[in-house]
Structure 1
Amino acid sequence: MGQTGLYIEARIRADLDDLWTRTQDPAQHQRWDLRFTEITYLPREEGEPQRFRYATRIGPFLTVAGTGVSAGERERPDGTRTSALRFSSPHPLSLLAEGSGYWRYVPDGDGVRFLTGYDYRPRWGRLGATADRLLFRPLMGWATAWSFDRLRLWLERGITPERALANWLAELLIRTLVITIACTALAPAASFPLLGPFTASLAYLCPLLLTVAVCVALFKAPLPCTPAARRCLRTPPTRSRAPRVLRTLENPR
């Protein structure tokens, strides 16, 4: 759709059926996927693709909604599973106008390679394209990868999505406090009149402490109980093609 599509992959040590349920059941999907606040299946006739409504809260009083259509292949000859969808949002404040994507479930030893590829068309003309390239698309890629790792923690370690979010916020707060305290330590030497002869040593030591503290806060690997986008693969190892089932879906309106 004019730009490089997004690709995210996570290896999850879980049963394939459990992973399928956590991703295909709307009530469970909306718990771990940061991109959505609500996902609701709409009524359908037997044999037709599943239509759904999604909503994302982007502020205390603003929710952007859209509709989509999806279809899945639960049993494939090679043992993999596939789910494809098309989606669109008529909301004028939604940068995302329409798009399509897929999920693949690839058994791999004692786990599953869970991967997605998707792309979309931004609205608002050149302004929207620029905002998408510089901000929104990187943010969407990060949110997808972060959500995949939150799903992994739920399946592998039993850490609920709500608990995982609390862990992430707590760790973010601690990192922020470390940086703030380190910066405070760089107060002028005159602020420590009682230190006497140690003032000069402190003046040399503070910048070093600041550098170490900031590096630890920014680059230390997240705790095992905290979801992190960096744990997911962001580039396909081989050329990835959209599943054939995607071509059978019409754009929702």
Structure 2
Amino acid sequence: MNCKNCNNNLRDSQKFCDECGAKVIQNRLKPKVLAQQVNEQFLCVDNKFLRTFIDLFRTPETVIIGYINGTRKKYIDVIQYFAISITLVGFQVFLMSTFFKESMDFGSGFAEGFNASSAKADNPFKDIDFNSINNYQGLIYILTVPFSALGSWLAYYIIGERSYNFTEHIVINLYYSAQVIIVTALLTILFLVLGLNYFVISSIIYIPTFAYLFYVLKRIFKTTFWETFARFLLVMAIYIGSFMIIGLLMLIIVIIIGIAIYK
């Protein structure tokens, strides 16, 4: 018998491949087998998802550094964990666009003040469709990961802390982002059910996400509070600065294209 993942020779009594670590599947895929796999991954008390979720709060360095150093079986793979978070965001967006459309309303007072900031025809905010922006929330999360990874890698590179390369910083930020996205999506769904406005929810959740990043950086790099705080500020400065530079470049490109078209 050979492993179906790496073609390594296996004994008939083996339950896991000693080459790639994959579970040996001998039964055909049936509803019962599929249900058992779902239960093992997500529903049982000792499942990988719950263990990963809890330990990313309790000891994030164990999950993240462990993955970087090669521990890949105890916790959910970083790409899979991030994919789960994006799937959950898709479910959140579906609920908001179908059952909780009123949650995207600013409220009459805020909306009037927002639009009255420039009540003329040149108001840059008058045509913004926040519902459309919300529909691309998953894509926005995906696109922000390289920027956050660049921020953390460059910040620590500048101060001489070069234990992890850029790819490893992507892993750090993928686990961090996935955890934040999962918590944010679950709390958003809960608060929507309770009747809260989406923008109120966002304001409540916004600050704790940065506090969690501070906590993750402190645990991974094992620095003091003030050392971590200084590095956190540098990470955020580079993160915001890179967004501004990319945005400026995109604006310049759009202007150049527009000039070329209307010439």
TM-score scaled by structure 1?
A: 0.27
Structure having the larger proportion of residues in helix:
2
More relative contact order, 1 or 2 (CA 8 Å, 6+ apart): 1
Structure having the larger proportion of residues in strand:
1
